[in-house]
């Protein structure tokens, strides 16, 4: 009330008595309209209309053009009346239907005896005696209607004016709401894209997409299918449930279900009720435990990716699809299709790039593994040696809780530690007898040769000590430089322990392989003077936990490493 008084005080607004009531109503309408909160606006406008009619109660309906139904948008009255909100009636019948069709107001003095009235009229205080019903017109066309009950006045021209204003305000507030909501969802999409882009870990990317797509689209669940080209199956990845347990991956033939259609055709598909769509595959509902009603499915389409001038491009292709299931507010619309398609395309790109990186990384590791294995194989007694030293060193690094970055360096350094043997005559390498002093001097060159070969590679500088220092000793009596203690790089001290351990547990021309307990005992003896006792402890501890299984690489020395990043 104080705000209304304020409006009246804004100027020397002289007016005749006849129109002063009218101005008060219109000023109030202006005041109501100065909110952008749609619900407040509609409710207060309806109240104003009820007031000017001297009515007791009223309803505002909005026309759903798609279904030609009127939706109870605002209802003023008791609890029973409020329960009507959201309900729908046909726009073809009754008084409200007629007001919509004729685009004019209808005044009914005796509701109970009007054949067009098909609702209850009630009794007592809540009885509906009469009604004014009029359309809400926007640019001359109805977008809804208002009905007031138990009126005492019929200011039809005024309420039509207010009703049309309500229509126009409704349109603007709805447009603004839609636009702001759209911006918010685009912002959310951008944040999500930023998050997805900061990982090259495939499983993490998949989890992020599945978990976030659901929120972005207000869906009950979401799932992702990746095409396995070898078996021509789609592999299903689901939203993790609240207990963070994830189901094992499941697979369906690639031509199955709506998702199969999407992956085959590259078209997005949105259905209001999947159960009525003959392409829908019920089996998925059984697996996921979610009964699919509305469904939106889009392809995971990797665009052409430019690798660089010397590397060319990779081809565009579809690698799977993403589904959002059961929109919680209505059914999926064009904005949803656009959002999910954009997310899916970006996700597919990131997945592809993660794959390219992992591939390049795997290619490097597998190639050096193949090469060092071939070099080791020149001496049957060292077959598989470098791979085992690498495995043992990584197991020790895990035992020491070293970071994955350092573990990777240790893996690479240990694999390459004996690469200098390329430069040692194979007569010496494979000599079954003990070496002569001259031969031993030649053999002792391999750390320096290895470092000389690899120091050309800028990105391997950190692992060089694994090559150059793995025959140094803690007491300084090692080779080639005779450095001691902490002067020896940690990576070299770790590799030295694995190197000795593998030598002891391998067969030699002049002795059988030692049993592990004996080998570990010798390591303990060597700790301090020869080997770093911390790393000897790490080796013993890793062995006791089953992380080190000596000679496991002997049978199949060319067995590829597990894929990094998987």
Residues of span 24-63 touching a copy of itself by CB under 8 A: 26-27, 30-31, 33-34, 36
Q: Which is nearer to a copy of itself, 284 or 397 (CB)?
A: 397
Chosen residue from 61, 72, 134, 170 binding a copy of itself by CB under 8 A: 134
Region label for 297, one of left (φ > 0), alpha (ψ between -120 and 50) or beta (otherwise): beta
* 5 part of the interface to a copy of itself, by CB under 8 A: no
Judge whether 521 and 543 are in contact, CB under 8 Å: no
Among the residue ranges 119-127, 219-227, 252-260, 301-309, the one whose residues contact a copy of itself (CB under 8 A): 301-309
CB of 373 to a copy of itself, least distance (A): 8
CB of 431 to a copy of itself, least distance (A): 13
* 427 part of the interface to a copy of itself, by CB under 8 A: yes
For a copy of itself, the binding residues in 482-541 under the rule CB under 8 A are none
Chosen residue from 78, 87, 265, 313 binding a copy of itself by CB under 8 A: 313
Judge whether 349 and 302 are in contact, CB under 8 Å: yes
* 217 part of the interface to a copy of itself, by CB under 8 A: no
Chosen residue from 311, 334, 434, 546 binding a copy of itself by CB under 8 A: 311
* 306 part of the interface to a copy of itself, by CB under 8 A: yes
For a copy of itself, the binding residues in 456-485 under the rule CB under 8 A are 456-460
* 18 part of the interface to a copy of itself, by CB under 8 A: yes
C-alpha span between 314 and 327 (Å, rounded): 35
* 356 part of the interface to a copy of itself, by CB under 8 A: yes
Chosen residue from 4, 88, 93, 103 binding a copy of itself by CB under 8 A: 103
Q: Which is nearer to a copy of itself, 316 or 525 (CB)?
A: 316
* 361 part of the interface to a copy of itself, by CB under 8 A: yes
**Residue 547 burial (CB < 10 Å; 0-12/13-18/19+)?**
middle
Half-sphere exposure of 49 (CA within 13 A, CB side): 34
Judge whether 238 and 220 are in contact, CB under 8 Å: no
Among the residue ranges 55-63, 86-94, 231-239, 403-411, the one whose residues contact a copy of itself (CB under 8 A): 403-411
C-alpha span between 233 and 281 (Å, rounded): 14
* 379 part of the interface to a copy of itself, by CB under 8 A: no
Sheet holding 69-76, edge to edge: 88-90, 69-76, 57-64, 141-149, 131-138, 106-108
Question: String of b and e for 72-89 (b: at least 16 CB within 10 Å)?
Answer: bbbbbbeeebeeeeeeeb
C-alpha span between 113 and 350 (Å, rounded): 69
* C-alpha distances in Å from residue 86, one per residue of 62, 75, 97, 218: 10, 10, 17, 20
Q: Which is nearer to a copy of itself, 277 or 345 (CB)?
A: 345
Report strand pairing: 250-253 vs 233-238: antiparallel
* 15 part of the interface to a copy of itself, by CB under 8 A: yes
For a copy of itself, the binding residues in 157-176 under the rule CB under 8 A are 157-158, 160-161, 164-165, 167-168, 171-173, 175-176
């Amino acid at each position: 009330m104080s705000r209304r008084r304020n409006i009246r005080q804004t100027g020397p607004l002289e007016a005749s008595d006849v129109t002063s009531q009218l101005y008060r109503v219109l000023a109030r309408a202006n005041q109501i309209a100065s909110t952008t909160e749609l619900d407040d606006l509609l409710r207060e406008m309806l109240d104003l209309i009820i007031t000017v009619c001297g009515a007791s109660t009223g309803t505002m309906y909005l026309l759903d053009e798609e279904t030609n139904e009127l939706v109870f948008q605002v209802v003023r009255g008791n609890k029973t009346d409020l329960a009507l909100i959201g309900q729908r009636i046909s726009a073809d019948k009754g008084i409200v239907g007629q007001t919509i069709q004729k685009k004019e107001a209808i005044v009914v003095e005796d509701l109970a005896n009007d054949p067009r009235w098909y609702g209850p009229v009630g009794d007592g205080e809540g009885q509906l005696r009469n009604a004014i019903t009029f359309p809400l017109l926007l640019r001359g066309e109805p977008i809804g209607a208002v009905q007031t009950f138990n009126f005492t006045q019929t200011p039809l021209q005024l309420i039509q004016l207010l009703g049309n204003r309500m229509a126009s305000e409704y349109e603007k507030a709805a447009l603004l709401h839609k636009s702001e909501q759209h911006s918010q969802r685009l912002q959310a999409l951008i944040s999500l894209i930023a998050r997805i882009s900061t990982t090259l870990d495939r499983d993490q990317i998949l989890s992020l997409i599945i978990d976030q797509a659901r929120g972005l689209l207000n869906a009950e669940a979401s799932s992702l299918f990746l095409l396995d080209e070898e078996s021509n199956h789609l592999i299903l990845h689901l939203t993790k449930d609240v207990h963070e347990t994830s189901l094992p991956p499941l697979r369906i033939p690639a031509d199955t279900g709506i998702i199969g259609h999407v992956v085959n055709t590259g078209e997005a598909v949105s259905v209001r009720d999947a159960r009525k769509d003959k392409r829908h595959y019920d089996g998925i509902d059984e697996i996921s435990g979610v009964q699919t009603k509305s469904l939106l499915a889009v392809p995971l389409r990797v665009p052409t990716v430019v690798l660089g001038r010397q590397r060319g491009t990779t081809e565009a292709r579809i690698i799977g699809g993403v589904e959002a299931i059961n929109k919680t507010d209505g059914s999926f619309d064009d904005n949803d299709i656009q959002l999910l398609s954009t997310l899916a395309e970006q996700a597919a790109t990131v997945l592809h790039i993660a794959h390219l990186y992992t591939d390049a990384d795997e290619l490097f590791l597998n190639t050096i593994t193949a090469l060092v294995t071939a070099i080791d194989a020149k001496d049957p007694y060292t077959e598989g040696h470098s791979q085992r030293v690498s495995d043992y060193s990584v197991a020790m690094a895990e035992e020491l809780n070293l970071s994955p970055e350092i573990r990777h360096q240790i893996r690479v350094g240990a694999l390459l530690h004996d690469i200098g043997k390329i430069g040692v005559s194979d007569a010496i390498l494979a000599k079954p007898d003990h070496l002569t002093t001259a031969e031993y001097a030649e053999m002792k060159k391999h750390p320096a040769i290895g470092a000389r070969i690899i120091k050309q590679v800028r990105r391997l500088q950190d692992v060089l000590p694994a090559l150059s220092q793995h025959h140094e000793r803690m007491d300084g009596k090692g080779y080639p430089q005779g450095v001691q203690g902490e002067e020896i790089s940690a990576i070299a001290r770790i590799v030295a322990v694995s190197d000795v351990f593998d030598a002891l547990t391998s067969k030699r021309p002049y002795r059988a392989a030692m049993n592990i307990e004996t080998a570990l005992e010798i390591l303990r003896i060597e700790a301090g003077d020869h080997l770093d006792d911390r790393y000897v402890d790490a080796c013993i501890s890793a062995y006791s936990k089953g992380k080190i299984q000596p000679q496991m690489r002997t049978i199949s020395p060319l067995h590829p490493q597990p894929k990094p990043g998987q």
